[in-house]
């Protein structure tokens, strides 16, 4: 007999957390919160975002456009186009004397971000430790955690110029250590590490059979005759190093999403597997633009570096005059002054400076506990805006001093 009673509602099982524990345990980036606030404000001078203020040089943009007009709209090889890999290999050989086979030792990725993620995921087993200097780029530790590894943070201080030493690395090595993640010139400090110290770290890696991931995204942005040391070019390093670099910073191409990794074939093949199933290939149009950048972008790089150097000199001197002690960093485009004289935490300093003077900076604590007492200020911003920012920071500091009753 037919009834019109509706079927009983299913009994709900107790709710499980939909988010994986290893993701839940990683805090959201301390930088993002500030950008959300900035987006609601007007007349802000942003020294917050870590990217060039230049647009991509015209001839590079045109190469991307031309590739579309010519109909290059399909996938490339999973490794990236061979022409681009050959250009990368030539550049690495020419700049640092390190040689990679474009056929199977170079992979083109969606930014250094993806290259780093691939390197870690392809080589780290659950519980493996990765030594990471701190303060450091916000992605490093989460990247290791997402791969099931354990980041072992090594704090560095302003007194040591925020440059990690081989002695510190040695003290952090355990039987579970799989790799050391180096990122110099460094974000957020601008510090570079001497060739001698890097060579000593490589020797440790050889002695303990460790991998080295070397994020050299700021390699081209160095000043005062500082010569960048490519870690892979150091004696004994090549066979255990994943060299990471890309177009974002040196060619002002952050939005194009082109990075790459160069590594011995066995490691690269493993990275390719992860990349193949996750991403297929980096954007084709961007790969065409990257060939143009790498083959004919040198003049543009030199012009941009010259301008960053001019801003850096003026801005860092200005900060020191205002009483915010700041070393002249060797590379990247960040100043990382001490703000301890204000008595404020880096978070309070950044928040008040934003609300009271409309200057956006990033609290040093966003880059790890050892970044506390500092803020990151990106000087990839127009010279005049940097001058204006210094004026506003000076005004802010007067207010803080008055508030302290000094």
Closest C-alpha to 74, from 273, 215, 234, 283: 283
371 touches ligand PLP (CB under 6 A)? no
Name the helix (H) or strand (E) containing 202.
helix 195-208
The structure tokens listed for 199 are 């060579």
Bridge partners of residue 60, in order along the sequence: none
* Smallest distance, ligand PLP to C-beta of residue 380, A: 11
* Smallest distance, ligand PLP to C-beta of residue 253, A: 8
Q: Quick one: 133 or 373, whose CB is closer to ligand PLP?
A: 133
The structure tokens listed for 307 are 């301008």
Bridge partners of residue 181, in order along the sequence: 213
Closest-by-Cβ residue to ligand PLP is 111
Q: Quick one: 248 or 342, whose CB is closer to ligand PLP?
A: 248
Contact 92, 113 (CB under 8 A): no
Sole window of 84-92, 109-117, 297-305, 388-396 interacting with ligand PLP (rule: CB under 6 A): 109-117
* Smallest distance, ligand PLP to C-beta of residue 174, A: 25
Nearest-angstrom CA–CA distance, 67 and 287: 9
Would you give the DSSP letter of residue 161? Answer: T
Exposed/middle/buried for residue 270 (C-beta within 10 Å: 0-12, 13-18, 19+): middle
111 touches ligand PLP (CB under 6 A)? yes
46 touches ligand PLP (CB under 6 A)? no
* Smallest distance, ligand PLP to C-beta of residue 111, A: 2
Sole window of 36-44, 78-86, 110-118, 265-273 interacting with ligand PLP (rule: CB under 6 A): 110-118
Nearest-angstrom CA–CA distance, 169 and 399: 42
Pairing outcome for strands 259-262 and 211-215:
unpaired
Q: Quick one: 76 or 113, whose CB is closer to ligand PLP?
A: 113
Residues 259-288 that bind ligand PLP (CB under 6 A): 259
Count of residues that interact with ligand PLP, criterion CB under 6 A: 13
CB atoms within 10 A of CB 154: 19
* Smallest distance, ligand PLP to C-beta of residue 32, A: 13
Residues 129-148 that bind ligand PLP (CB under 6 A): 137
112 touches ligand PLP (CB under 6 A)? yes
Helix axes 284-296, 82-96, angle to 10 degrees: 30
Q: Quick one: 137 or 379, whose CB is closer to ligand PLP?
A: 137
* Smallest distance, ligand PLP to C-beta of residue 17, A: 29
246 touches ligand PLP (CB under 6 A)? yes
Taking CB under 6 A as the criterion, the residue among 78, 165, 254, 345 binding ligand PLP is 254
Residues 173-232 that bind ligand PLP (CB under 6 A): 183, 187, 215, 217
Contact 60, 289 (CB under 8 A): yes
Exposed/middle/buried for residue 206 (C-beta within 10 Å: 0-12, 13-18, 19+): middle
Nearest-angstrom CA–CA distance, 245 and 405: 49
* Smallest distance, ligand PLP to C-beta of residue 29, A: 11
Question: Can you say how many angstroms the Cα of residue 361 is from the centroid of all Cα atoms in its chain?
Answer: 17
* Smallest distance, ligand PLP to C-beta of residue 305, A: 16
* Smallest distance, ligand PLP to C-beta of residue 188, A: 8
- The SS3 call for residue 27 is coil
Q: Which positions lie near ligand PLP, rule CB under 6 A?
A: 50, 111-113, 137, 183, 187, 215, 217, 246, 248, 254, 259
């Amino acid at each position: 007999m037919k009834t019109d009673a509706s079927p009983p509602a299913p009994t709900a099982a107790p709710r499980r957390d939909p988010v994986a524990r290893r993701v839940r345990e990683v805090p959201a980036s301390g930088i993002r919160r500030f950008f959300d606030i900035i987006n609601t404000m007007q007349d802000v001078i942003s020294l917050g975002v870590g990217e060039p203020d230049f647009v991509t040089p015209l001839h590079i943009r045109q190469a991307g456009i031309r590739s579309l007009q010519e109909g290059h709209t399909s996938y490339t090889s999973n490794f990236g186009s061979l022409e681009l890999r050959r250009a990368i290999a030539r550049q690495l050989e020419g700049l640092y004397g390190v040689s990679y086979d474009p056929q199977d030792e170079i992979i083109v990725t969606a930014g250094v971000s993806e290259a780093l993620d691939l390197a870690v995921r392809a080589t780290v087993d659950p519980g493996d430790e990765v030594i990471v200097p701190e303060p450091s780029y916000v992605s490093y530790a989460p990247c290791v955690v997402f791969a099931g590894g354990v980041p072992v943070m090594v704090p560095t201080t302003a007194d040591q110029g925020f440059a990690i030493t081989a002695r510190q690395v040695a003290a952090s090595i355990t039987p579970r250590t799989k790799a050391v993640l180096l990122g110099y010139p460094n974000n957020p400090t601008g510090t570079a590490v001497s060739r001698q110290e890097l060579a000593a770290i490589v020797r440790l890696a050889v002695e303990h059979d460790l991998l080295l991931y070397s994020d050299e995204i700021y390699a081209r942005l160095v000043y005062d005759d500082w010569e960048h040391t490519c870690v892979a070019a150091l004696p004994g390093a090549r066979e255990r190093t994943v060299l990471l670099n890309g177009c974002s910073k040196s060619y002002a191409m952050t939005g194009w999403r082109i990075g790459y990794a160069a590594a011995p074939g066995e490691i690269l093949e493993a990275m390719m597997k992860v990349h193949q199933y996750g991403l297929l290939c980096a954007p084709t149009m961007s790969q065409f633009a990257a060939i143009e950048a790498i083959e004919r972008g040198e003049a543009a790089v030199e012009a941009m570096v010259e301008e960053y150097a001019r801003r850096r000199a003026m801005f860092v001197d200005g900060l020191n005059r205002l009483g915010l002690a700041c070393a002249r960093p060797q590379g990247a485009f960040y100043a990382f002054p001490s703000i301890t004289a204000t008595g404020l935490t880096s978070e309070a300093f950044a928040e008040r400076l934003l609300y009271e003077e409309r200057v956006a900076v990033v609290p040093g604590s966003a880059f790890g506990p050892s970044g506390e007492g500092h803020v990151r200020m990106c000087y990839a911003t127009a010279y005049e805006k940097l001058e204006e920012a210094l004026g506003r920071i000076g005004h802010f500091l007067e207010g803080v001093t008055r508030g302290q009753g000094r």
